[in-house]
Every structure is written in structure tokens, then in C-alpha cells.
Amino acid sequence: MKKVRGILLSLMLVGLSTGCGDQIYLEEAEVILGIGIDLNENDQLQITNSVPIISEQTAIASQMVTTSSRNLRQAKDKLDLSVPGKSALGKIQNILIGRRLLEKKNLLPYLDVFFRNPKSEINARVIAVKGTIQEVDHAEFQGRVPGIFIKDLIDKSYESRNSVLTNLQQVHRQLLNPESTPYLSEISVVNKKVLISGTALLNRNGLYTTSLNKEETSTFLVLLEDTESPIPLNFPYRTGEMSILVEEAKNEIQTKYENGRFQFDIKPKLKVVIMEAIGEIDFPKQRDVLEQFIQKVIKKRYEDLICKFQQHQIDPIGYGLYVKAFHYSYWKKIKDHWSEEFAKAKVTVTPSIEISNFGIKLYSNKSMADIGYSRYFHAPLPVSTTLAYVKNNNSPGNDVPKSVMISY
């Protein structure tokens, strides 16, 4: 019995110690925060690693190491030969993909090493570069570590709804699912500054096809029903401008197969807040008119974006999922070329808009005295109201507000 206990105790100790065999001390490691993957002029794979320099003697700094190799694994081995410590991939924040590689090579094989490595950071941002990785290497990062700077830039842009956010796990799913096509957040370098340029769209083969600007990206987020944070949309209204926030978005989608092609009936139901309007608008009385106007704007933006998808034979929204769910017999026949089928589909958009609140009203062309400002308010002004006054020549001493800024 004592012998059995001794054997069990030994096995337990061995089991507890197995997790410590591959430990790496921080002072001996080269922590990679960013990896750039691109092709050089000779179409050879070029890998750039961003490694922060951790030292008491130096300020915040980062070392950029670029190598040419056949694959990422070989690039890591070369990196270990050029830096004093052992490279560690578990803290990668960003994986940058150059435009040249995206246009010529399927993205999936180049990310395969991350998918297979259990130590990979699945939340690492996968980002398309509108240009070369070398342009990013020579950019200015305001004294910050490049890997952290780019991560924060993407995260904050996503929070302000000007960019999508796609991590390694999401890209893996997008590249393998036949029901949709991948999309990535996109950056560019202008005057040595790294900027958000929009969203890069890939086809079924993982190749770059086109991009969305920041305005189109905001509409794209509405199509995706990504309203965890409100989505701002701006557009002209009469002689002025209007800004709204989309607080809730629900796209009801019905599909059928008729006359040799699929048909999609999309009914977006949006709840919006008017944040700012420049012009002469009587909000309480013109609610219905405003809702109808916003419906037309949303309808056109949806149709323009979907038309762009069809022209490039891509489906980043994932309408193929509805075909698979409701028309599986057809789906089995066309799943390998769904993007081409979607390009032939008939899509109708019928939005429904509900204005839940009003924010700021600005009157730019006329003073409110000229248009009778008292009719614009049927209740006491909100507490946080800013009035800009103009001289009332018809009644000296009784100035009237020209612009009203309201916060509810």
C-alpha cells in the first residue's frame, strides 16, 4: 500500500511540473508585439517584427527586424539569430498585411502558423495596410511603442465607429466559411502618420478586391447590426447638414429563389437620434417628414454598398447563411461559387426609421427672429441649453437667439 501511495505521489509531482518546462523569463525574451507580412519587389515573402526594447538605461523604444524567408516559421528562426533573446509570439497585438501580398496571395496559408500554435494570441488584430509594411516601419508613433500605438488606434477607431475590428479568431472563421467573405480594418501612412483609411474587403480566395472609406464603413457596421456602440451617420439636408446616431439596427431578411436567381428582401428597422441639424427644422412638427427623409438616405446607402459588393463578387455581410438555412437544396449546388450567385441576386431594401430623440439644432441662414423661434419649443428649454444671440433691430434691447445647442 505504501508503495502504491509513493507511486501516486510521484505521478502527481511530475504532472504539476510539466507546465514549467518551457517557461521563458522576461529578461531573456524578445516579446514580439507586431508582425508585418508582405512581398518585396521580387515577390519574396518579407516579414517584419516589432520588438520593444526593455531597458532601464533607454527611453521607450522599439526594434524593427525585417527578414526574407519562405514562411513565418523560418522567419522566426532568423529573428532568433538577430536578437539577443528568444522571440515570444504569445503577446502579439497586431498582424499587418501589406497590399502587395493581399493582391497576389491567398491570405490563409500565411496565417496558418498562428492558427496552429496554441500560444498564439487569438485576439491579435489582423490589419490590412494600404501600401507597404516598410511605410509603416518608417512612420512616427508619437514616442510610443508601434505595436501598442497601432492597437490603440484600431480600438479607438472601432469605438468611434469609423473602422471594423477583426481579430485572428474572426479572420480564421471568415476565411473558412463559404457563406461570407472576409473583411479587415485598413490603415495607411500619410506624411509619416499612421491613419485609419477604412475597411479592406477580400474575396472567397482571400485576395484583396476593394476598400470602403470611413463613411461607407459606418454604413457597413449598420448592415452588420454592430450597434454595441451607436453609429454616427452624416448627410446633407436641404441647405444644411444633419448628423444622426443609429442606436439600434435590426435587418429583417427574407429570401427566395425565383427565375433562376436568388432574391433578398431586406427590411432595416433603425432607431436613431438626431444629434445635429443645420437649417430650418421644426422637429416636433416635422418628425414624420424627417423619418421619411432618413429612410431615403438609408435606402440609398444600403443599395450603394450592396451594389458595390455585387460588382466585386463578394459577400462580407454573409447573406449566404440565409440561403444555406432556408434553401439548402440550392445551397449544396452553389456553395463553391456563392459569390458569383450573389452578384446576380436581386436585392430590395425597405427601411423603417424611428426617431427616438433630438440632440442639437443649429439655424444658420436666418435668425430665429425672422422665422418665429417661439414655435420651435413647446416646453421649457432643457437645462443644458446654449443660446447665441443676435441683435433684433425691430425691437431694440430684445435680442433673440440665432443658434441653439441642446443636450438632453
How high is the pLDDT of residue 367? 38
Residue 222 predicted with pLDDT over 80: yes
The pLDDT-based confidence of 181 (bands split at 50, 70, 90) is very high
Query: Do 165 and 174 form a contact (C-beta atoms < 8 A)?
Result: no
356 against 200, higher pLDDT: 200
Instruction: Tell me the pLDDT tens digit for each residue of 280-304.
Output: 677 767 888 899 999 999 999 999 9
pLDDT for res 250? 96
What share of the chain in percent tops pLDDT 90? 50
Residue 103 CB-density burial (10 A; 0-12 exposed, 13-18 middle, 19+ buried): exposed
The reported pTM is 0.79
Indicate the range of 101-110, 283-292, 383-392 predicted with least confidence.
383-392
* DSSP conformation letters of 294-362: HHHHHHHHHHHHHHHHHHTT--SS-THHHHHHH-HHHHHHHGGGHHHHHHH-EEEE--EEEEEEEEEEE
Q: What is the structure's pLDDT at 145?
A: 85
- Domain definitions of the chain by residue range: 27-212, 214-362
If pLDDT is split at 50, 70 and 90, which confidence band does 84 have?
A: low
Residue 189, pLDDT above cutoff 80? yes
Q: What is the mean pLDDT of the chain?
A: 80
pLDDT for 403 equals 40
- pLDDT of 227 > 50? The answer is yes
The C-alpha cell of 168 is what? 485572428
Find the length of the chain: 408
Residue 185 has pLDDT above 80, yes or no: yes
Q: Is 93 helix (H, G, I), strand (E, B) or coil?
A: coil
Position 13 scores a pLDDT of 61
pLDDT in tens, 357-384: 876 555 444 433 333 333 333 333 333 3
Confidence band, pLDDT 50/70/90 cuts, at residue 16: low
Q: Is the dihedral of CA 179, 109, 64, 87 positive or negative?
A: positive
Q: 3-state SS string over 218-265?
A: HHHHHHCCCCCCCEEEEEEECCEEEEEEEEEEEEEEEEEEECCEEEEE
3 state DSSP class of 80: helix
| pLDDT above 70: residue 60 | no
Residue 18 has pLDDT above 60, yes or no: no
CATH code: domain 214-362 is 3.30.300.210
pLDDT for the residue 358: 77
Q: Which of 46-60, 134-148, 162-176 has the highest mean pLDDT?
A: 162-176
Alpha helices in 30-128 (DSSP H): 72-82, 99-104, 108-116
Task: Average the pLDDT over 312-323 and give the result.
Answer: 96
Greater confidence (250 vs 49) lies with 250
Q: What is the pLDDT of residues 350-359, one digit of tens each?
A: 999 999 887 6
Q: Is 197 left (phi over 0), alpha (psi -120 to 50) or beta?
A: alpha
Does residue 69 carry a pLDDT above 90? Answer: no
- In angstroms, the CA 35 to CA 33 distance is 7
pLDDT band at residue 167 under the 50/70/90 scheme: very high
